[in-house]
């Protein structure tokens, strides 16, 4: 059966039930006072779908309160369609495509995309490289950082004017964690690597000078000399993190053609999410979408934060 035939993509009540089962796996939680399983369904002709009344604080609520769906006029079943599309597309899906496929306005599609990316943002802070595992760290450049004024340099040369992304890949778990950075100073990169890596980790980087002193803080530091045309010696390489960057860049170039620095972290969250929930790690499309739905709580994004 086609996944697109599933009732929660077409029937609003089924959509609510689907989301409720994921957001409230251990009982219905009142978003106002936090009471668990102390509420009842409001029935009646004029009552909207999925409205409950809390017996404790007496306030009504739905599963949308306190989530990325809150205050949105878009039907929940359309939200589920959008989440599934974004989660199942390897390179992402543009606001234009969402607009055409879902029949919402371009502005709404754009906003939905950013809210879904917000739901994909992970909160996992566990260090990489626990038990002496290898962690690859590298940076890449993408697009133009509009916050940097061009200096007297030839156009297209160097990376100072570009957006910069730092990524870490734990080779044992296959997971990535990436972040937008303002510059390549040791004072910027050092704390990020320090906070995200276990001291027992074996750090794998290229020969960039900013990694030389950072490497001393870990059990081992393997360095690949790219300028000498080296790709790696046995376990000493950064091929995994470079592979991640190539997926990210193909998606950004092919799908999300324009992206300003202020939104870049949201796209990174999307690519990190899909990479960390990929088929090779045993996560398929449906499960990936469900994972995104469980991430909708506490990620409410106001119009101002995405549009300003």
What is the binding site for Zn ion (CB under 5 A)? 30, 32-33, 35, 54, 56-57
Which bin fits 155, alpha (ψ -120 to 50), beta or left (φ > 0)?
Answer: beta
DSSP for 215-243, written as a single string: GGGSSEEEEE-GGGT---BTTB--HHHHH
Q: State in angstroms the smallest separation of the CB of 301 from Zn ion.
A: 24
CA distance 166 to 154: 25
Beta carbon nearer to Zn ion, 39 or 163:
39
With respect to Zn ion, which residue has the nearer C-beta, 32 or 162?
Answer: 32
Question: Please, are residues 205 and 184 in contact by the beta-carbon 8 Å criterion?
Answer: no
Instruction: Quote the least distance from Cβ 240 to Zn ion, whole Å.
Output: 47
- What are the angstrom distances between the C-alpha of 66 and each of 69, 97, 261? 8, 27, 27
Q: 291 is written with which tokens? A: 């994972």
Q: Nearer to Zn ion by C-beta: 58 or 262?
A: 58
Q: What is the CA radius of gyration of the chain?
A: 22
Rounded Cα gap, residues 196 and 199, in angstroms: 10
- Hunting for tokens 């709580």 — which residue is that? 297
Rounded to the nearest whole angstrom, what is the least distance from the CB of residue 88 to Zn ion in the complex? Answer: 36
**Is the CB of 35 or the CB of 88 nearer to Zn ion?**
35
CB of 51 vs Zn ion, minimal distance in Å: 13
Q: At closest approach, how far in Å is the CB of 56 from Zn ion?
A: 5
24 vs 141, which CB is nearer to Zn ion?
24
């Amino acid at each position: 059966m086609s996944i697109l035939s599933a009732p929660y993509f077409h029937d609003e009540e089924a959509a609510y039930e689907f989301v409720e089962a994921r957001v409230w796996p251990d009982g219905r939680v009142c978003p106002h006072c936090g009471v668990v399983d102390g509420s009842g369904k409001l029935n009646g002709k004029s009552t909207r779908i999925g409205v409950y009344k809390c017996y404790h604080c007496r306030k009504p609520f739905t599963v949308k309160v306190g989530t990325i769906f809150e205050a949105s006029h878009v039907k929940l079943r359309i939200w589920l369609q959008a989440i599934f599309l974004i989660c199942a597309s390897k390179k992402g899906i543009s606001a234009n495509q969402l607009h055409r496929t879902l029949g919402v306005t371009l502005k709404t599609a754009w906003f939905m995309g950013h809210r879904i990316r917000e739901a994909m943002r992970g909160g996992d802070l566990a260090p990489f490289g626990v038990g002496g595992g290898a962690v690859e760290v590298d940076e890449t450049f993408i697009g133009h950082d509009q916050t940097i004024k061009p200096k007297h340099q030839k156009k297209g040369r160097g990376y100072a004017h570009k957006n910069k992304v730092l990524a870490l890949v734990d080779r044992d778990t296959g997971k990535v964690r990436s972040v937008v950075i303002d510059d390549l100073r040791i004072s910027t990169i050092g704390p990020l690597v320090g906070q995200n890596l276990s001291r027992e980790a074996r750090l794998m980087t290229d020969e960039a000078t900013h990694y030389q002193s950072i490497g001393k803080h870990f059990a081992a530091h393997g360095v690949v000399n790219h300028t000498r045309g080296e790709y790696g010696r046995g376990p000493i390489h950064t091929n995994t993190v470079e592979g991640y960057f190539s997926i990210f860049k193909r998606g950004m170039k092919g799908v999300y053609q324009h992206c300003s620095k202020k939104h870049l972290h949201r796209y990174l969250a999307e690519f990190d999410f899909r990479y960390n929930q990929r088929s090779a790690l045993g996560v398929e499309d449906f499960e990936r979408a469900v994972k995104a739905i469980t991430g909708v709580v506490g990620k409410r994004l106001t119009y101002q934060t995405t549009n300003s």
